[in-house]
Structure 1
C-alpha cells in the first residue's frame, strides 16, 4: 500500500513536470521583460585597484565594493541624501575621485547624444552644485578636477568649480549651421562619439572640433504627435555623395583665454574621427581620414611649438576601420590595432611612429583591447582564437611572448579590469548559460569569487518548451563555409517537412552567429519554433571576425555577395529532408531589412516570403560616412548602388512581402520605405506594410514592440504555415 502511494506520487510528479515543460512562451512575456537578466550597472574601478563602484538604480546610489571580499564598503552618494536631486541616471568621477558628475533629467537627442541637468557632487562636503540651469551636453572634469567643460547650444563653456563662474569659449554656435565641441548627426552615428572636445593633462588647454554644416543638405520629418497640426523636425543629414560638414580643429588656451586654429590645410574633404591628448600635455594626437576612408593619418600636434608631424599612415585597398584602441604608454610610445596583415591585431610603436613590434599575430582577430599593465609588462585583450563564434580573454607580454589564455569557459567572455590590473570581473555567457559575473586574478585568470549569476532565469526557462540552438558550418555550392545556427521545434520529427524562417543582419563586420545568451528575438524564435517553424541564421561573406578578406569582399558591392550567400544557404537548407523548400522565408531589420528585401527579389524562386523592418531600399538615401566607406560615392560607383538596391528589382517580386517603418526614423529614413512602396505600386505588385507614427529606428515605446512582433508573427503564420 505504501509503495503504491509512492508510485502515485512519482507519477503525479512526472505528470506535473511534463505539463510544466510544455508551457509556451508568449509575446506578452517577451516584451514585458519576463526573461530579462541582471547585470552590473555602470561599473567603475577605483584608482587604488582594490575597489570598484556600481550604480544601484534601485536605491539611486553609487556604492563602493571591495574586489577581494566583494563586500560593500560604503555608499559614496545617494539621491535620497541630496535635496536638489530626486534621482540620477549616470555618474562619472574626477581623476582624483573627490567629485562626481551626476546626470539628471536626461533626454535623448539622437542615438548617443543626450541633454540633461548635471550636478557636481563633492564627496568630502557632501554638497551638490548644479553645473548649469540649462540642459547641457557632455560635461567633463578637467584632469585637476577644478573645472568642468560642457556644450550648450552648440557652444563650448568652462565652469570654474571654485568661483562658480562659467566662461563661454565659442560664440558662433547656431543650430543647423555651426557646432562646437559635439559632433554632427553623421559623426555621432557612424564614428560612434558625441563629445568632440578633450582636456590636456595639465588642464590648461582644450582641443575641440568645429563643424560648419551650413551647406549640408537638410532632411525634414513630420512629427505627428497629438496636436491639431504636426510639427516638422529639420536637421542636417549628408546623404551619399552630398556635401559633408566642413570640420576644423581648434585649441583653447585657458591661461591666455584665446582660441587658435590648427592648420589642416594640406587635407581636402576629410574627417577627424578621433582626437586624444598624449601624456605630454603639449602634444595632441589627431586622426585624419580621407573621404573614401582608405587612408588614415595619425598626426601629432605640439601646442607649445605649433609643429605637427604624421607618425603613422594606415592604408587599405578597401577601408580603414576607426577604433578607440589608441593607448599612450608612460614613455608616450603607443598601442595601435590594425588589419594590415589580414586580421585585426595589436601593434606597438615609438612615440615618433617607429615600429617596435606586432604584439599579437595569427589567423584570428583581436576583438577588444583592454589595456597595458606596466608592472607586469603585459597587454590584455579579447579575441576569437578559440573560434569566431566565441570570445576569450588573453594576456601577452608587450614583446608578443608568453601569451596566456585567462578565461576557461567556452562561449563569450568579456573583462573589466581593475585600475592596476590586479583583478578583473569576467562576464561569461553562452547559448546555454545566462550572464555570469565572477572575480578573477589578472595574473593567471584564477577564479577568486563568483559575484552573481542569472540561474533563476535558466531555472524559469526549464518550465517552458525550449529548443536547443544548434551551431554548425553551412557550406554553399560555391564552397563558402559560413557560420550558422538552427532552432528546431522541440517536438521535431525528421520524417516531417517544416517551413524555415531565416534571420540575418549581414552588415559589414557584423555578427549574428555568436555563442552567447538569448536576446529578446531568441525568445521570439522559440515561440515560432513552438508553432512548427525552423529558425536559421547564417553569417555570410561581409560579416566579421573571420579576417579582412572575408569581411571586405563586399566592398563597392553591398547587397551582392551577402545576398548570394543567403540565397545559396536557403538552397542548401532546402535539400534537407525535413525542410519544405517551398516555404522558406527571411526577415531582417535595418541592413537586415535591405537584405531580406533583396533576397525575396533576387531569390524569388527560393524565398516565399520576407519581412523588412526599417530597410535601406537604396544606398543613395543613406548617409555619407557609412555608405561611402563601403561603396565610395554614387558619382563614382553608380552601378554598385543601383544594381544591388531593392527598389530597382521590385518587378521580380513573387512571394509575400511585409515592409515596416517608423516615421520618426532619423537614421534610415521612412523615405526608403515610401519610395519602395511607390515602386511596388508602379510595378503592380501586391504587398503588406505597417507604419509606426513618430517611432525611430528602434520602433519601441509602450506597446509598440508587442504590436510590431504580433504583426510579424501573424504574417509569418499566414504565409509559412498556410
Structure 2
C-alpha cells in the first residue's frame, strides 16, 4: 500500500547534513554553476572555488523596499538579458510550487514583478519563451494560463475555463503524488505556441479532513482525491497558437477518463507533439506523435506488461518533464524493462527501436545525456543491489563502462555539468560519507578532493550487511546493527524496520543504514539488534521479476518474505524470540500491521505509523498500478489489507496517525480502530491533530513522537542482554 516518498528517506538519512546532492544550476558552458549567497547570485568555479557576482543583492531590492527578495530559484532568458526570479514560495502539495515571480532586466537594471494584480504567491511554473520576450505562467487561484509581454507588461489570458475542477497547466493531487507531474505546459521551440494539459476533475469527490483545533467551530478541509476503483480525472492535451489566438484540443485516441498522460513534449521542429499514454491499469504504454497542423496522430511505439509499466524509474528527483532527444530530434532515448532488465533504448520517429545498454542488468537512473559527446551517463550496480555507481555508454549503443573507481564501495552520487566534462561527486556507505569532490569525466580523475567527511561513531553501532535465504528459496538482503559489547552467548531483542512496497528500498549501503531517527539515544548502546530486510517487490535493481512478483500480492508476498526472513533470523542463537518488535511508516506501517496480524507468533510488539488499513481507501493511481482494478480482483485487495487480519493480533500494538494526513487519510486509523475494538484487541493509539503524513508540523511534535516511540518500545520490548 501507499508509499513513503519523504518519510523513508528521512528515516535513513536524517543524521546526514545535505547528504543527497542538491541539484545545482549549471551554466550552459558546463564549467561553472550558480549559487545563492548573501551577495546575491554568484557564479562558482568548482575547481578553484572562485566566485563571481552574477546578480548583486542590491539588484534584488524592489523599488520602495529596503530588503532584497529571498530567491528560491531563477532562470535566465535565452538572450541572457532577463533573469526570472522565483520568491515568496508556498506549498501546494508536497513542494513549494506557487509563489511570486520577478524579472530583472540587465540593460535597464529594472526589477519588475509579474502578474502583480494577482493575489500573492499564486503564480506557478513561469518560464520564458525561446525568444526571451514573454513569460507564461499558471495562476493557481483560477487554474488558468497567462502570457505576459516583458516589453509592454501586457497580460494575455490564454485559457478561460479554469476553476477548482478544470485545471489548466498543472495537475491534480494524484498526478503530482503518483506520477511526479507538476509543471503542465510547454512552449514550442519556435515560441509560436504553447501545449498544455487540461484535467477535468469535476467527477472526483472530495475527501473531507476535519480541523477541530484552530477555531471554536470545526471546519472541513476538502482534498480532491480519487480512491481505488474510482475513475480518474479526464486528461486532455491542448495547444494555443499565439498568432491566431486559437485554442485546440489535441486528438488522442481513447477515453480521456480511462487513461493517463504522464509525459508530453514538443518535437524540436515545433511541428509535432509527442506524448506517452497509459491505460487505466497502467500495463499498456503508447507513444503518440501528433501533427499539430492537421491534428492527426500516429502511434509509433507500444509496450505491454502482464503487471505494470514503470514510468517513474528513469526519472531523477521524481520529475518527468522533458524529452531525451538525440540525432537532432530524429530519435529519443527511452527506458524499458520489457526483457526483464531496465535498459536504455533508442526509438526514432518511425518507432524503430535499438538497444543501447547491451548488458543484462538494471540501470537505476539516467544521470545525463551528453548529446555532443554522444554519451549517456547513468547509475547502476550490477552485482550488489544495495549500492550505486556511475556508468556510461555511447548513444550509438554498446557495453556500458563503469566509471566509479573500485575503491568507492557504497552509494555514489553525481551532479554532472551540462557538458558532461566534470561532476560534483559525493560518496557514502554505512561507515562514512564524503562530499563535494570535483571529478573529470569520463576518466573520473579527481580535480578537487572532498571538502567534507564524516565517519560514523562506533559507539552508536555500525550496520553490517548480510544475506538470508528463506524456506521459499528467496534470498533477501539485510542490514543489522548489533548491540555494543555484543556477547554471542547471550540473547538480545530484535527490532525490524520494514517498508516492503514498490516505492522504496530500505536496505541500502549508505550512511543512514542502521539509523533510527525515532529512537531517543542509541539502540546499540541500549542493547537492541536492529534489522531491516528487503523483500521481493521493492524497487531494488535485481530485475523486473524481483520487482513485479508482488503484482496483485501487496500485503501477501512481501509479508511472507519478511516473516520467513524473520524466522531464519530467530534461529540465530543470540536472538531472543520472546522479544521481537517491528515498526514502519506509511507502507511500512501497513506491513507492520500485516506482520502482527498474519504472523502473531513471530512478532510480539509493533509500532505502525500512518498506515493504509484497507487498500480500497488509498488513491487509484498507486494502488491500481500494483494491484489491478477492484472491479476485477477485489479479493486481492481484501486479502492484502491489514484490516482482514487485525483480529489475529496478539502482541502489543501502538498505532500513530496524523488527522490532517492528505495522503493516507486518518479514515484508515478509524476503520482499524473499529475492527480492533470489535474483536477486543487491546492497543494504544496516538492521534496528532492536523498533522500531515510526515507528522512534523506543530511545536514539540517531533520530540513528542520520538519520546512516545522510544518509551513504548522499551516498555514492551525491553532492551538488553539476557
- TM-score, normalised by the number of residues in structure 2: 0.91
The DSSP-based 3-state class of the residue aligned with 1:558 is coil
- Out of 23, 27, 30, the position equivalent to 1:49 is 30
User: Equivalents in 2 of 1:271, 1:384: separation in Å?
Assistant: 31
Q: Given the superposition, is the C-alpha separation of residues 34 and 369 from structure 1 closer, same or farther in structure 2, using an over 3 Å criterion?
A: closer
- Aligned CA distance change for structure 1 residues 564 and 297 (closer, same or farther; 3 Å): same
Distance 2:657 2:76 in 1: 40
1:108 to 91, 94, 100: 91
User: 1:163 maps to which residue?
Assistant: 152
Matches of 1:146 and 1:635, distance apart in 2? 51
Q: Is the CA contact 2:484–2:524 (under 8 Å) kept in the aligned structure 1?
A: yes
How many residues in Structure 1 have an aligned counterpart in Structure 2? Answer: 684
| Residues 259, 451 of structure 1: alpha-carbon distance in 2 compared, 3 angstrom cutoff | farther
| Contact persistence 2:493–2:577 (CA under 8 A) | yes
Give, in whole Å, the separation in 2 of the partners of 1:335 and 1:217. 38
Q: Is the 8 A contact 1:499 1:533 kept in 2?
A: yes
Conserved? CA contact 2:40–2:60, under 8 Å: no
Q: Label 1:347 to 1:678 Cα distance change in 2 as closer, same or farther (>3 A).
A: same
CA contact (8 A) 2:535 2:561 kept: yes
**Counterpart in 2 of 1:250?**
238
Question: Are 1:130 and 2:113 counterparts?
Answer: yes
Please give the per-residue CA displacement for 1:427-447, whole angstroms capped at 9, x wherever unaligned.
222111224121111231211
Partner of 2:696: 700
**Number of the residue aligned with 2:448:** 449
CA offsets 1:330-351 (integer angstroms, 9 cap, x no match): 2421100000110111001222
Q: Distance in 2 between matches of 1:601 and 1:626?
A: 24
8 Å CA contact retained: 1:67, 1:423: no
- Give the equivalent residue in structure 1 for 2:5: none
Is 1:468 aligned to residue 462 of structure 2?
yes
Quote the offset at 1:96 in angstroms. Answer: 4.4
2:338 equivalent among 340, 343, 350: 340
Aligned to 1:492: 486
1:372 corresponds, among 369, 381, 385, to: 369
Shift in Å at residue 280 of structure 1?
1.7
Q: Does 1:665 align with 2:661?
A: yes
- Which of 189, 208, 213 lines up with 2:177 in the alignment? 189
1:24-423 to 2 correspondences below 5 Å: 36-37=17-18, 41-56=22-37, 59=38, 61-78=40-57, 81-83=60-62, 85-112=68-95, 114-133=97-116, 134=119, 135-152=122-139, 153-175=142-164, 177-267=165-255, 269-323=258-312, 326-329=323-326, 330-355=328-353, 357-401=354-398, 403-408=400-405, 409-423=408-422
The answer as to whether partners of 1:90 and 1:102 remain within 8 angstroms in 2 is: yes
What does the per-residue CA deviation read over 1:400-457, in whole Å, with 9 as the maximum and x for residues that have no partner?
336322212111112222222221222222111224121111231211112532x2x4
Q: Distance in 2 between matches of 1:60 and 1:232?
A: 44
- SS across alignment from 1:508: coil
- For the pair 1:578 / 2:574, whether they are aligned, the reply is yes
Q: 1:597 and 1:666, CA in 2 relative to 1: closer, same or farther beyond 3 A?
A: same
Structure 2 gap ranges (5+): 1-10, 316-322
Give the secondary-structure state (helix, strand or coil) at the position aligned to 1:401: coil
Structure 1 vs Structure 2 CA RMSD: 2.2
Residue pair 1:413, 1:426 contacting (<8 A) in 2 also: yes
The 5-angstrom pairing of residues 514-593 of structure 1 reads 514-518=508-512, 521-522=515-516, 527-544=522-539, 545-593=541-589
Deviation at 1:388, TM superposition (A): 1.0
- What is residue 674 of structure 2 aligned with on the other side? 678
TM-aligned CA distance change 1:571 to 1:33, over 3 Å:
closer
Displacement of 1:40 in angstroms is 6.1
Contact 1:337–1:347 (Cα < 8 Å) also in 2: yes
- Classify the secondary structure of the residue corresponding to 1:468: coil
1:650-702, CA deviations, whole angstroms, 9 ceiling, x for partnerless residues?
21010001111111110100000111011101111100110111111111033
What SS class does the counterpart of residue 706 from structure 2 fall into? Answer: helix
Judging changes above 3 Å, is the alpha-carbon distance between structure 1 residues 33 and 381 closer, same or farther for their aligned structure 2 residues? closer
Q: Where in structure 1 are there 5+ consecutive unaligned residues? A: 1-29
Change (3 A) 1:40 1:485: closer
Distance 1:699 1:97, change over 3 A: farther
The 1:221/1:479 distance shift into structure 2, 3 A limit, reads same
Q: 1:452 to 1:98 in 2, by over 3 A?
A: farther
Deviations 1:629-651 (A, max 9, x none): 01112111111011121111121
Instruction: Output one character per residue of 1:480-531: Cα deviation in whole Å (capped at 9) or x when no partner.
Output: 1011000111221111110011001111152111111227954556722221
Q: Which has the higher contact order (CA 8 A, sep 6+)?
A: 2
- Cα distance in 2 for partners of 1:248, 1:231 equals 34
Moved more, 65-74 or 578-587: 65-74
Does the aligned pair in 1 maintain the 2:410–2:428 contact within 8 Å? Answer: yes
Q: For residues 178-230 of structure 1, what are the alpha-carbon distances to aligned partners after superposition, in whole Å with 9 as ceiling and x for unaligned?
A: 11111001101001121111111111111111111111121111123432122
Q: Give the stretch that moved more between structures: 74-83 or 302-311.
A: 74-83
